[in-house]
Structure 1
Amino acid sequence: MNVPRISVSLPTIGDLGVLDAGGGLAAAARHVEDLGLGDVSVADVIVGDSTPAREAVVVAATAAAVTERIGIEFGVLVLPVRSTVHLAAQIQTLQHVSGDRLALGVGTGGFPGTPFWQAAGAPRRGRGERTDTALAALPGLIAGEPTEIGGSTVTLAPAATVPPVLIGGTSDAALRRAARFGDGWMPSLLPAGELAARTRSLRELAAERRRRTPVVAYGTHLLPAGDGGRRDAFVHDLVRTHGMPRSVAERVPVTGGPSEIADRIAEYAEAGADRIGFALDGPDWFRQCEVLARAGQLLAG
């Protein structure tokens, strides 16, 4: 078994104070690097109803500026709420600041009814088409090639290395998009058996297009060991918000000590995951990173 590359999400929504005791966002990114983990991941979720949130590109820029080796991964940027040409210019700059350490995770977004979406003028319908249009244009724009977009031909300079593009989502449309545009597929919150089945479908879709099978970068939640109440609340949210059957939702979160976490990582690796990203749910964010790093060391032998 190949040991998957492990990433950790920096908090961008909800309880943003979890990092304060350890020195804040910059210290958190440095901590991940010092532990030898693979990447920091940044989610792009702003609701606009007073829920605390940080803007994803600014968070990624902060992480890139204070680290030297770890990857900087978007998991995922929501293309329908962003100007494609402006985003391309931001990615060019981030590639320069980071030394070409970006992974550009993108998706259609799951919150089109929120105040932020409405205020941004993002479409409730046609998000897939808008995402495909952006994906067709972004590589050329980032690379500094003349690119037609919005009725104009645009050439951005200085050119940058195009980062690997990872397509988020678990739907059939997301799989087709990953097979067509992606260097990787970025699903989340699936039991291992379902991930294995979807990975087989992705392999078939890529073969039909005569493309290499995209890398599979699976995302899940790590919950503190021994906190049954937090686990129950998380499972309940999956059932209520995502409509999962409880029997499925209970197999999603990862918890326990390093050995138990290593076993779960191995399970998802066997299901096809090349990379595994963890959102850390709990007050002791820095300590959870350390437990996760120990699990990775156990897998590596």
Structure 2
Amino acid sequence: MSPLHLGVSLQQRWPLDDGAAVLRAARHAEDLGFDHVAAGNRLLESGYAVDGHLSDPLVLLSAVAAATTRLRLLTSILVVPYSPAVLLANQAATLDYVSGGRLILGVGTGWKQDDLEAVNVPFGERGARTDDHLAALKALWTQRPTDFDGRFTTLRDAHLGMPPATPGGPPVWVGGHSDTALRRAVRLGDGWYASALDAGELTDKIGRLRKAAADPADADRLTIASVQFLSPPGFPGEVPSERRPLGGAKPTAASVVDDLGRLAEAGLTSCTLWIPSVGGQVEKAMDWIAAEVVPQLG
């Protein structure tokens, strides 16, 4: 069983009069030994209290990169169709460069129709645009000059303005539970990123991931990662009703450790903890995780 790397989502309701609060939380996560911090990608308010403030992930993580030295920086999830492929390739490569190769690009197709329509992307094209853009990103990061022919992106003798620090570009973790998303992860990703699955569901999806590959080895090479909701004792937060929080409705350190252990046995190697509490409580919640949970994980 591989070691389980724990990270923390920064998608919280941070105080609007204190823009440095999120950076202090990221530094605290680094001091406590967490593996990564994550930032999500929505454009318009959704009405869901759990979403917090919807900052741009690449901008926010650029600030976090300057405030930290070791933490990996995960977009969770960056919606690929929001931006043209060349723009996204250059932005991601720039963040990878300034962070010293710490970026992980967690990506998805998007599901909020109003967000997609606001940037003139037809909802029915989001999957095809994601496939096109991810293939173009890989080409731009690995070929110089780049020639590329896609449905939405055409490049001739293109030299990306900023090469990434990571050879071949930052790792791409493809999110989604559908068979289409699993096939996309095998074809275009370096990892698969799940959302709030229990160990049994994760085992089933990994089996489907291997079936989606022409060769099971193509699936076995992927990093298996997941976001999980966690409201530690004393730090209540609103969790979407369809998602089971880590450790159950009334988690204890033992129940959280048990859930994480089962997920690791199922194949999970990286877990992002989304703590849906008010921003000011997140650091204290991280303290609880570091003191009560991490020592029991081995």
Q: Same fold (TM over 0.5)?
A: yes
Higher mean C-alpha deviation, range 153-162 or range 279-288: 153-162
Query: 1:192–1:271: 8 Å Cα contact kept in structure 2?
Result: yes
Q: Under a length normalisation based on structure 1, what TM-score does the superposition of the two structures give? A: 0.85
> Are 2:261 and 1:269 equivalent residues in the alignment?
no
The residue identity in structure 2 corresponding to 1:120 is V
Q: C-alpha separation between the residues in 2 aligned to 1:205 and 1:261?
A: 31
CA distance 1:76–1:52, change in 2 (3 Å): closer
> Are 2:202 and 1:202 equivalent residues in the alignment?
no
Q: C-alpha separation between the residues in 1 aligned to 2:46 and 2:226?
A: 29
Q: Which residue of 2 aligns with 1:11?
A: 11
SS in 2 for 1:105: strand
Q: C-alpha separation between the residues in 2 aligned to 1:207 and 1:179?
A: 9
Q: Show the 5 A alignment for 1:4-43.
A: 4-11=4-11, 15-17=13-15, 24-43=21-40
Query: 2:94–2:163: 8 Å Cα contact kept in structure 1?
Result: no
Q: C-alpha separation between the residues in 2 aligned to 1:234 and 1:158?
A: 39
Deviation of 1:152 after TM superposition, in Å, equals 3.2
Aligned-residue sequence identity (percent) comes to: 33
Q: 1:285 aligns with which of 282, 285, 296?
A: 282
SS in 2 for 1:121: coil
Runs of 4+ in structure 1 deviating by more than 6 angstroms, as ranges, are none
CA RMSD after TM alignment: 2.5
Gaps of 5+ in 1: 239-248
Q: C-alpha separation between the residues in 2 aligned to 1:98 and 1:181?
A: 23
Q: C-alpha separation between the residues in 2 aligned to 1:184 and 1:278?
A: 18
CA distance 1:125–1:107, change in 2 (3 Å): same
CA distance 1:253–1:86, change in 2 (3 Å): farther
CA distance 1:235–1:67, change in 2 (3 Å): closer
> Are 2:256 and 1:256 equivalent residues in the alignment?
no
Give CA-to-partner distance per residue, 1:59-102, whole Å, 9 cap, x none. Answer: 11011111111111111110111111111111111111100011
Q: C-alpha separation between the residues in 1 aligned to 2:36 and 2:14?
A: 20
SS in 2 for 1:167: strand
Q: How many residues align?
A: 281
Q: C-alpha separation between the residues in 2 aligned to 1:182 and 1:106?
A: 9
Q: Show the 5 A alignment for 1:30-179.
A: 30-48=27-45, 52-112=53-113, 114=114, 116-143=115-142, 145=144, 146-148=146-148, 150-153=153-156, 154-160=158-164, 161=166, 162-179=169-186
Deviation of 1:25 after TM superposition, in Å, equals 1.4
Q: 1:234 aligns with which of 239, 260, 265?
A: 239
Gaps of 5+ in 2: none
SS in 2 for 1:6: strand
CA distance 1:210–1:235, change in 2 (3 Å): closer
Query: 2:246–2:256: 8 Å Cα contact kept in structure 1?
Result: no
